[in-house]
Structure 1
Amino acid sequence: MRLTSLGHAAVLLETGSERILFDPWLTQRLDRFWEHHPPLPADLVRQVLDDGVDYVVLSHHHFDHHHFPSLRQLADGADVDFDDSPRQSSAVTCIYPAGPVPPRLTASGLGHQAIAWTLRRLGFERLHPVTPGDTLTLGAASLRTFPSAVPFPEMSVLVQTADAAVMLCGDALLHESTAAAFRRDDAPRLDAVFVPAHSVSPPGVLTERRPLNDPDAVRARAAANFDRYVEAIPAALTVPSSFGWRVGGDGEHDYSWCNRTMFPLTPVQALRRLDDLGRDGLLWGPGQVIEIADGKAAPAEGPVAPAAYDFDRLYAEVSLDPATPVPPFDAAADRYGRQSRTCEDLLHELLDRLVATDYWYRALDDGAGRHVISLYEDHGAQNAFLLDPVTHRVTRLGEGPARAHLAGGESWTETAASTLEALLGADLLFGSSFGLWASDGVLLSAVFHHPSFYTRHVERVLQEASTP
């Protein structure tokens, strides 16, 4: 068995007869905010995937794992008539988690239902949804799935062949049924396990620009999550994984401070935890290869040499530093696009698009949901408005930031009018928009994770691909 890293959680697994691609994010930039770290070497994707793939396995629907621009690259490029038919499919079989879970429109990436729609729209015809816990046979390989402890379908995957067993956990949170499966007497013996070393950012750093609070507790929680995984799933080799990115900004904004305030556990730190726990581990980066033979997993020659990366230096750039200041949000500087519409016009459309979202239904039930939003305009004025989802009313409150106009009980948002216009026009992908507003509420999430915005972005990628 041979595994090649394509960065972050993307892995090509070759069994000798099957080529299985996991969680493909194949572009250097994910969006205007995130980028691969270490960077993807030039021509790596073509070099590794030039012979095609037989299967694509998507662990869940989040954009860094279900990246539709990368999936489009994998689809065969037959001519497209957007009025009559989707793209024609390749022979690739796509495997992804599904289940009796209702749509979560305010969750990142629309909801797990986006996977099936996106794959069909991009032209993949061989779709194989699975319920986490199912086992599939892929030629000479067995693929066993395990659930994640999250409120949407997500899975870890165990791939077994006659001579190797590897488990890729993606971003999954350890589920008790997974831990129980490896406590059984007949638990599979793993040659290698890829354990998530990613860390959820401390609350409020991006959304409210709050300075880091109690960094020791944040670090301890991240380390404990990693330790539980390692102790639950024994393997001959453990690879800290699903951490291959950083905030890179967009050329106009410097968000390098994010990289020192968001990641309490890096792969280098996770490797030290493995040493403390008496487990063998290693780090790998884009283009590096691990081969498994005769019960031993070890680095092998590949597009990038085994010792090519200085991981201590690379991950020092994204290590938590409590002394790093979190700059206050400034809508005059942290903004995108150009304003062509009045604030009232933009906010009335925002309320129109809020209708039938989770946020709107909750507001109807309890009469709450009132929200103070301030918009910074291109000509320099900043005004606050009260939004009432129940009465569908926009009321101007006066000049200044939203937080200066709170009467009690309202949530708040501060952003630029141009940013809001770009979001409403689907010129700016929601996942790319972190750092362009500050808020203590989810009103914008409720609107811009709606299916209508997600589908517009997919259609745009398809249209761009078909334009000479």
Structure 2
Amino acid sequence: MMRLTSLGHAAVLIETGERRILVDPWLTQRLDRFWEHHPALPDGLLDILDGGVDHIVFSHHHFDHHHFPSLARILEDTEVDFDDSPHRAPETDCIFPVGPVPPRFTGSGLGHQAVAWTLRRLGFERLTPVTPGSTVHLGDTVLHTFVSDVTFPEMSILVESGDASVMLCGDAILHESTVRHFARPDAPRIDVAFVPAHSMSPPGVLTERRPLADTEAMRARAVANFDRYVTTLNATVTIPSSFGWKISGDGETDYSWCNRTIFPLTPYQALGRLRELGRGGLLWGPGQVLEVAGGTAELHNGPHAPKGYDFEAVYAEVTLDEATAVPPFTPERDRCGHQTRSAEDLLADLMERLVGTDFWYRAIDSGATHTISLYLDSGTTDSYLLDPVTGRIVHLGPGPARRHLTQDTGYTEIAADTLQAMLDSELLYGSAYGLWASNSNLLSAVFHQPLHYTRHVDQMLGRPAHG
């Protein structure tokens, strides 16, 4: 028998009899300033990890799947200093995807080049990098990995142990090689498949604050992606998953509009789609336990009862609503932190970090410039022209960036205190929802740099930043 306990979102504890395998751990109620578990983690849920785990498997590097504060929490031991390797780290095997795609500084979610660095930084010593498509043997358990159709290392995982087989797809985009694999006559049988209800943010909503458009087409694409996954894997039971969060902000700002504008397909809607397709399916939440054996899968008593969630109500909070207005960017509201450095100092720091990025190389080739507006704590707004080729910063005058555009150039508008919070590694880029407006990837280029990632990790761990 294989026993699976939901720890919220994509985090799952798999117990096979011989091995305890933790997948994609995000184990805190809040991910950062903006995301939180939805539904919330029940009190005492993490006690199940007190005995430690044999293996930790990461499907990819994104912060909600490779959450280093959660990893540090797993290793907490009051009898050792953090400068020493916590006693559990040397015995825990960490499995994560690498290559074959080359590193990209501006890859979404940041940090994929630094997973091994992060794990070693935390004290883990047994690292098993895996090229998706490979097979890994863990005692009585076999992990078959499958490549995702993305531009960074990511994998879905088929876990086989005895007479149970479970496929965990995380956020992976279905790849043609996976389709071909499961079309073979000797394709493995899958008892349970955790299939992503792909909910991709509509273009421009969080970057340029565009109103929602063509929501039916967005829904249709999400349903088509889900249907193809379900048909390809042909599992006995399908669980729409990897969707266990909502945006709530830090309590000072209402972000409910985000939750109603960026998710075209919720797990509850996906469960309805399974019924339309005549497929077996169910939903589960944090603290619920699934036991898989002999081709069957059943919910059992765990920290949370089998019928302990009203999933219709849970996912109603994050259902796409075309009537929801996308508010315009307002720096008086859409900001965080406190400005203590001058605008010129912040921009000089930004320009220095821009050097060597993809954005910088493209600007050198094209000669492109960029206009940026900083909304200052004083209540004024100043715009500047950034020239990556010469490194010059030219003050254009007061007012938003778009007032100063004289050519087809990129623009960014951001509060100065937000920019300072990012530069000082107080705000992780990937979760900075709606805190600026831009038609360019200038900030992506800078804040997806591995150096920014390592600074952020060091700050979170309470050590001086490198450099």
TM-score by length of 2: 0.96
Which runs of 5 or more structure 1 residues have no equivalent in the other structure? Answer: none
Residue 462 of structure 1 corresponds to which residue in structure 2?
A: 461
TM-score (normalised: structure 1): 0.96
Once the two structures are TM-superposed, the CA of residue 101 in structure 1 deviates from its matched residue by 2.7
Find the aligned partners of 2:455 and 2:16 in 1 and give their Cα distance: 37
Q: 1:44 to 1:401 in 2, by over 3 A?
A: same
Mapped partners of 1:193, 1:452: distance in 2: 37
Distance across 1 between alignment mates of 2:224 and 2:431: 30
Alignment partner, residue 433 of structure 1? 432
Give me the whole-angstrom Cα distance separating, in 1, the residues matched to 2:104 and 2:319: 32
2:389 aligns to what?
390
Provide the secondary structure at the position in 1 that maps to 2:120.
helix
Partner in structure 1 of residue 33 of structure 2: 32
Which residue is equivalent to 1:2? Answer: 3
Farther-moved stretch of structure 1 (262-271 vs 105-114): 105-114
1:342 match: 342
Is 1:240 aligned to 2:240, yes or no? yes
Q: 1:104 touches 1:111 (CA, 8 Å); kept in 2? A: no
Alignment match, 2:283: 283
Structure 2 distance, partners of 1:337, 1:286, is 32
Number of residue equivalences: 461
Report how far residue 110 of structure 1 moved: 2.8
CA distance in structure 2 between the aligned counterparts of 1:203 and 1:359, rounded to whole angstroms: 20
- The residue aligned with 2:174 is 174
Compute the displacement of 1:133 (Å): 0.7
2:126 alignment partner in structure 1: 126
1:26-425 aligned at under 5 Å gives the runs 26-45=27-46, 47-75=47-75, 77=77, 79-80=80-81, 89-368=89-368, 370-425=369-424
Task: Describe the shift of the 1:414–1:297 C-alpha distance in structure 2 as closer, same or farther (beyond 3 A).
Answer: same
Deviations 1:194-246 (A, max 9, x none): 00013111011111111001111111111111111011111110000100011
Aligned mates of 2:205, 2:348 — CA distance in 1: 29
In the alignment, structure 1 residue 11 sits paired with structure 2 residue 12: yes
Q: Distance in 1 between matches of 2:306 and 2:100?
A: 43
User: Offset at 1:464?
Assistant: 7.2
Q: Which SS does the other structure have where 1:387 is aligned?
A: strand
Q: 1:260 and 1:93 mapped to 2: Cα distance?
A: 39
**3-state SS of 1:201 partner:** coil
Deviation at 1:31, TM superposition (A): 0.9
Q: Deviation string for 1:79-110 (max 9, x for gaps)?
A: 4475xx76663411000111233221112343
Alpha-carbon distance, 1:399 to partner:
1.5
Task: Report the Cα distance in structure 1 between the residues aligned to 2:385 and 2:338, rounded to whole angstroms.
Answer: 23
1:439 CA displacement: 0.8
Contact (CA 8 Å) 2:335, 2:415: kept in 1 or not? yes
Deviates more, 1:257-266 or 1:286-295: 286-295
Give the Cα–Cα distance (whole angstroms) in 1 for the partners of residues 199 and 431 of structure 2: 19
Considering only aligned residues, what root-mean-square deviation do their CA atoms show, in Å? 1.5
TM-superposed deviation, 1:273: 0.9
> SS state of the match for residue 235, structure 1?
coil
Give, in whole Å, the separation in 1 of the partners of 2:365 and 2:25: 41
Report the residue type matching 1:325 in the other structure: A
**2:461 is the alignment partner of 1:451:** no
Distance 1:453 1:414 in 2: 21
| CA offset digits 1:248-307 (Å, max 9, x no partner) | 111111111111111010001000111111100000000001101232111111110010
Where has structure 1 moved over 3 Å in runs of 4 or more? Answer: 76-82, 85-88
8 Å CA contact retained: 1:31, 1:431: no
Amino acid at match of 2:293: A
**Alpha-carbon distance, 1:30 to partner:** 0.7
SS in 2 for 1:182: helix
CA distance in 2, matches of 1:44, 1:73: 14
Give the match's secondary structure for 2:29: coil
Shift of 1:7: 0.8
The aligned amino acid for 1:14 is E
Which SS does the other structure have where 2:290 is aligned? strand
Q: Which moved more, 1:91-100 or 1:237-246?
A: 91-100
Q: Which consecutive unaligned segments of at least 5 residues does structure 2 have?
A: none
